[in-house]
């Protein structure tokens, strides 16, 4: 009963990250094992230092990942690689995590946070409605047929075309200046 409540809490936190209308960035500079890997997998981007380690070692404790790791890891790295990592409980290097698709980019430990802040500032300069919509379409589309996902994308694209942000973005492009988005 307590384990179920704990699992519910973990799931609700990660679903909250995934459905947030802003990008969520994980910066991993050490061990991200078990729930740490699950938390990273719930983020839009994972940046890591070269000293980071990832793994789902729960089987060593007689349990399985309980915050969505069995599902998010498989969607991130493929079912066969996820099985291998979860069944063995192996801990992998940051380089291996990047190679298989968990990590987007690696940095030296002393550079990690500065580089992540740069990435965040870049994202903040983009159209917030567009970012939120792209995140929503990609997340929802992953669970739809291709035809349904493409229709959802088309409808969302069309809706954004009527936004003030789209008008500002195109005007700024023509005027060769940075746009000033208002989230409208």
Active centre residues (catalytic): 38, 58
Q: β-pairing, 25-28 with 53-55?
A: unpaired
CA Rg value for the chain: 19
What does each C-alpha distance from 94 to 87, 103, 104, 106 come to in angstroms?
Answer: 19, 7, 10, 7
3 state DSSP class of 34: coil
Q: How far is CA 46 from CA 27, 52, 84, 99, 167, in A?
A: 6, 11, 21, 13, 32
Structure tokens at 34: 């078990």
Residues forming beta bridges with residue 113, ordered by sequence position: none
Q: How far apart are CA 83 and CA 66, in angstroms?
A: 15
């Amino acid at each position: 009963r307590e384990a179920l409540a704990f699992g519910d809490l973990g799931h609700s936190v990660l679903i909250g990250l995934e459905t947030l209308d802003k990008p969520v960035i994980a910066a991993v500079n050490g061990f991200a094992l078990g729930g740490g890997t699950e938390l990273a997998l719930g983020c839009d981007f994972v940046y890591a230092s070269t000293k980071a380690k990832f793994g789902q070692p729960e089987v060593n404790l007689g349990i399985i990942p309980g915050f969505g790791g069995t599902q998010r890891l498989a969607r991130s790295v493929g079912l066969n690689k996820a099985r291998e990592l979860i069944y063995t409980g192996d801990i992998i290097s940051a380089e291996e995590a990047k190679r298989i698709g968990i990590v987007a980019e690696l940095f030296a430990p002393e550079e990690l946070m500065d580089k992540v802040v740069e990435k965040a500032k870049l994202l903040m300069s983009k159209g917030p409605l567009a970012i939120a919509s792209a995140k929503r379409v990609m997340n929802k589309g992953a669970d739809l047929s291709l035809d349904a996902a493409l229709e959802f994308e088309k409808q969302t694209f069309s809706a954004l075309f009527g936004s003030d942000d789209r008008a500002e973005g195109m005007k700024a492009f023509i005027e060769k200046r940075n746009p000033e988005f208002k989230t409208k």
